[in-house]
Amino acid sequence: MARPGAACPPPARRVMVAARALLFWALVYSYCGVCACIAGLRLLWSIGRRPGETFRWVVRENPPACLTDPSLGTHCYVRIKDSGLRFHYVAAGERGKPLMLLLHGFPEFWYSWRHQLREFKSEYRVVALDLRGYGETDAPSHKENYKLDCLITDIKDILESLGYNKCVLIGHDWGGMIAWLVAICYPEMVTKLIVVNFPHPSVFTEYILRHPSQLIKSGYYFFFQMPWFPEFMFTVNDFKVLKSLFTSQSTGIGRKGCRLTAEDIEAYLYIFSQPGALTGPINHYRNIFSCLPLQHHEVIMPTLLLWGERDAFMEVEMAEITRIYVKNHFRLTILSEASHWLQQDQPDIVNKLIWTFLKEESTRKRE
């Protein structure tokens, strides 16, 4: 008889691992089915109420003027040698200044960083990237091309292609997930890490399995596992879902926030209404469960985590738990009246908090 606490024999351990994997994937596909049924019912309801509008999709051929505003920076492209993909980015600030690299979330693109492009160009070369599959960046057709290791390598290769070996890395939402992982895998490339409304990946994967409320809020992760149907649902009623994400009372920017203008909304509609423009972004999520659960990893550079407490997709409790994985200076700031879209919602406050973090780290180094 094995002693209490002794290691399980290999056959028993394999059975346990297999059983946990079976339960995990059963949960994933079961919840995927539930989310699909809910989406299907909403579609039928829309067809029943306004059949003519349900399948209306305006063709947007020309970008709104805000996307070519010269005050935001210069539109540039870089082709990565290993992958062969061409990435689009907008850059502000002089070449040669320290690099600040900005990674957007879903469903966003470089434009979500417009306030930061203007703010930080005085002291940084600020680069707001269109991630793989987004906007004008190339979008491989197969979902296997969107695995996390590919997305992490993209950032390393882009950094090198821009002529830098390190940067201040800032990520929001899904871009925050990538930023955490880049900081973990390539710590020598990240001088300071700033993440907006996304916890350490290990916190997220553990918390979501233990808290049904977060599981429900992350339902879109499961819904996105389906082929083509999620893309179709975004197009219903001329991208009503996309508009609602930024403007509705439940998920959008709050009444005290910096609301998106009609032109801002049109910028998002222009980008995501292009043929096939949603498949790449959603493919990011179609590989996530094959990479989970992640092992615990420590972050060793100074880290700032900013959080909008009224986030409809992420529970604020995860923000504080993140502290245990950062083995350096860690600052957490929670804004009580802010939404998930924090850097667009409260740009002045966010920019001030980032400046304070960057300056205090410089002061600490001199001391």
> Tens digits of per-residue pLDDT, 145-204?
999 999 999 999 999 999 999 999 999 999 999 999 999 999 999 999 999 999 999 999
Look-up: residue for tokens 């990946």? 201
Q: For residue 2, what pLDDT is reported?
A: 41
Cβ proximity of 283 and 143 under 8 Å: yes
* Separation CA 73–CA 116 (nearest Å): 11
Tokens of 52: 């003519």
Q: For residue 3, what pLDDT is reported?
A: 42
Q: What is the pLDDT of residues 98-115, one digit of tens each?
A: 999 999 999 999 999 999
Tokens of 79: 């082709």
- Torsions phi, psi for 276 (to 5 deg): 75, 5
Residues 6+ away with beta carbon under 8 Å from 19: none
Using alpha carbons only, give the angle 208, 210, 328 rounded to the nearest 5 degrees: 65
Q: For residue 25, what pLDDT is reported?
A: 62
Active site members: 173, 285, 340
* Separation CA 266–CA 256 (nearest Å): 22
Distances (CA, A) of 45 to 36, 239, 244: 14, 16, 17
What are the boundaries of each domain within the chain? Answer: 14-59+210-256, 65-208+286-365
Q: For residue 11, what pLDDT is reported?
A: 74
DSSP β-ladder status, 167-172 and 74-79: unpaired
Q: For residue 292, what pLDDT is reported?
A: 59
Q: Give CATH superfamily name and number for 65-208+286-365.
A: Alpha/Beta hydrolase fold, catalytic domain (3.40.50.1820)
* Separation CA 240–CA 322 (nearest Å): 34
Q: Which parts of the chain sit beneath pLDDT 50?
A: 1-7
